[in-house]
Chain A
Amino acid sequence: MMELKNITFRVGQRDILHNVSLHADRGSFIGILGPNGAGKSTLIKTMSGEITPTSGEITWLNQSIGKWKDGQLAKSRAVLTQKSQVSLPLVNKEIVMMGRYPHFKHSPETRDYHAVENAFHKTGTHPLADQVYHQTSGGEQQRIQLARVWSQLDDNLSASPKLFLLDEPLNNLDIFHQHQVLKMAAEFAEAGNVVIAVMHDINLAALYMNHLMFLKKGKVVAQGTPDETLTDEILTGVYNYPLTVVDHPEMNTKTILHTVSNTIHSRTK
């Protein structure tokens, strides 16, 4: 399905990504984690076809990502980028309709309007449909952008799997909406698609995702199921900060605890 073989992306003398490999099957919900500057966003960009790696091969549905036609690829994969700005004060439903652009030639058809409607409902942004994008809050804008990419992958005409790439999808979102987004993504993966997301919250990643990849300085430090990758040793090494992994008291997964030095903590008493 999605296959990355020894991806290296070099700028000047520096390897932003070094020998990164990843395999994703139908139903995979993959988290990419790691400290700032680890190359997480760059990895997402190589997978979306936005940048071409210096060496290595990326295939989606058995075809090299560079060989896909832009228009075809846009129907098969969608990307939620980190900073989505809109340069003109468009109305939210006009923005969500952009997700349908790969699907119609000149005028939107009934199924395009349905997909837009569906995306608004799914992301809970329906009340914002007629508002101007610039007059909504940061979190709302993030959910509008999510609705846009969601409508892009809404396709009942084709049974072929879809690739959903999310770069820090939880930015600006409160806890309720963080879970809403992750649940959407998990269900989408479950339906036979591939979802790959850059994450910062390890606990949420452990709750929803079935494969985690830890990057540091462009190299893969560890990857596997949450149970395999979440250990004190790996996490402390990746983040350069002492972290303790414990069993989740209610769920069959692991969760991490932060610790601080006693002198700082005593001030809160």
Chain B
Amino acid sequence: MNNKSKLILITLLIGLVISLLLTSGFGAVKIGITEIFNILIDKFGCSAPQVNQRLEAIWFSIRLPRVLLSALIGGSLSLAGSTMQGLFRNPLADPSVIGISSGAAMFAAMTIVWLVPLVGDSEFLGFSLLSITTFIGAALAAIFIFNIARYKGKTLVSTMLLAGIAINAIAGSVIGLLQFLATDLQLRDLTFWTLGSLAGASYTVVGIIAVVLIICIILIIPEYKSFNALTLGEHEAKLLGINTEKLKTKVIVLSALVVGVSVAFTGIIAFVGLVVPHIMRMIGGNDHRYVLPASLMGGALLLNITDTIARTTFAPVEIPIGVITSLIGAPLFLALLIHSKKTIQS
């Protein structure tokens, strides 16, 4: 990794911390940065200057989980995007574009409308029924796409994108049908899935997503050599001693896990996994030793800022964050398509 990449990573990390502190002050009640510091000092038991108890309660129970969730989801989706792009060896592979997110959302919808009324909202090892079924939905979509798009060790990009369209269409129509069958209460939940929102933030959700993301970080980021070697093709990577079969299983399971759990709690937030890795590659190059951690932190930073815009612009009403990310992401996706016309044709 060269010095420029290191500098970008450090800048992103510092930027993320500053952004989390600043954006946690924004909202119906504005909390200044000095007040936030006072709250923090007070919480850590040191003798603090005068702290407004009401502000402290708002900051701790509403703002902090919200900004942490936005960063965790942004980091998760971007990391998943950059690993999928590494595996597919193509910058267009995004969990929402190739149908993994909608596969998860379809399973979420089926769970809400059919399964929950049947078995109740049960829990398994601390994970809700919903997060398990969304993981299964994401994993099935990922396995399906991966197998259909690969031919003789290469990725057929057009097949990958077309299969993504098909899965998105299937999921869209199943969710549509379920909306038709759903009760009013279920309908509200379903709308939430399809548009994406971080309004469900709580420390439980933050905790679950943090655990899943940390597992992914530990297992995926050290694989940077494998992702780099894969750019030469699967056969060449094997000749360099890379166990490509193990890598594929690992990437599919982990990205399905991280996308599945993200969708379970926040719905479909599209294009984050496409936009962020793309920006990171543009500014710092394609070495995965840089791209993977940069996408993680860049995604966290970007979604944190986007979510702040989503919840403050028309306050007290929130714009669904998935709408904003799609508005920004879809045109960029089109631009990428036009730019990579030559590779798509092959």
A residues at B contact (CB < 8 Å): 48, 50, 70-75, 78-79, 81, 84-91, 94-95, 98-99, 101-102, 106, 152
Contacts and interface: CB of A to CB of B under 8 A. Distances in A.
Given A87-B231, A90-B286, A101-B240, 9 more contacts: A79-B239, A87-B90, A88-B89, A88-B286, A90-B228, A90-B285, A94-B286, A98-B225, A98-B228
Contact of B229 (A50, A71, A75, A101): A101
B238 interface: yes
A81 B234 CA distance: 13
B222 A106 contact: yes
B318 interface: no
B232 interface: yes
- Of residues B222, B232, B287, which shows the largest number of chain A Cβ atoms within 10 Å of its Cβ? B232
A70 B236 CA distance: 12
A90 B231 contact: yes
Contacts of A101: 225, 228-229, 240-242
A162 to B, nearest CB: 14
B241 A70 contact: yes
Contact of A86 (B231, B242, B285): B231
B243 A94 contact: no
B239 A50 contact: yes
B238 A50 contact: yes
A225 B70 CA distance: 70
Contact of A81 (B89, B90, B236, B281): B236
Interface residues of B, number: 23
B285 A91 contact: yes
A89 to B, nearest CB: 6
Given A89-B286, A91-B285, A98-B228, A74 B235 contact: no
Contacts of B91: 88
A70 B243 contact: yes
A73 B243 CA distance: 12
Name which of A73, A85, A94 has the most chain B CB atoms within 10 A of its CB: A94
23 contacts: A48-B239, A50-B239, A70-B243, A73-B241, A74-B239, A74-B240, A79-B239, A81-B236, A84-B232, A85-B233, A87-B231, A88-B89, A88-B286, A90-B285, A90-B286, A91-B285, A91-B287, A94-B228, A94-B286, A98-B229, A98-B240, A101-B229, A101-B241
Given A84-B236, A101-B225, A70 B242 contact: yes
Given A70-B242, A94-B287, A87 B225 contact: no
A31 B20 CA distance: 63
Nearest to A91: B285
Contacts of B233: 84-85, 87
A90 B287 contact: yes
Contacts of A88: 89, 91, 231, 281, 286
Contacts of A91: 285, 287
Contacts of B228: 90, 94, 98, 101
A48 B235 CA distance: 11
A89 B281 CA distance: 10
B243 A85 contact: no
A101 B229 CA distance: 9
A91 B287 CA distance: 8
Contacts of A102: 240-241
- Residue of A73, A89, A91, A98 contacting most chain B CB atoms (<10 Å): A98
Contacts of B225: 98, 101
A49 to B, nearest CB: 8
Q: Which of A73, A79, A95, A101 has the most CB of B within 10 A?
A: A101
Interface string B48-91: 00000000000000000000000000000000000000000111
B167 to A, nearest CB: 23
Nearest to B90: A87
Interface string B237-260: 011111100000000000000000
Contacts of A72: 241
Contacts of B238: 50, 70
Contact of A85 (B90, B232, B239, B285): B232
A70 B242 CA distance: 7
A260 B10 CA distance: 67
A73 B238 CA distance: 10
A51 to B, nearest CB: 10
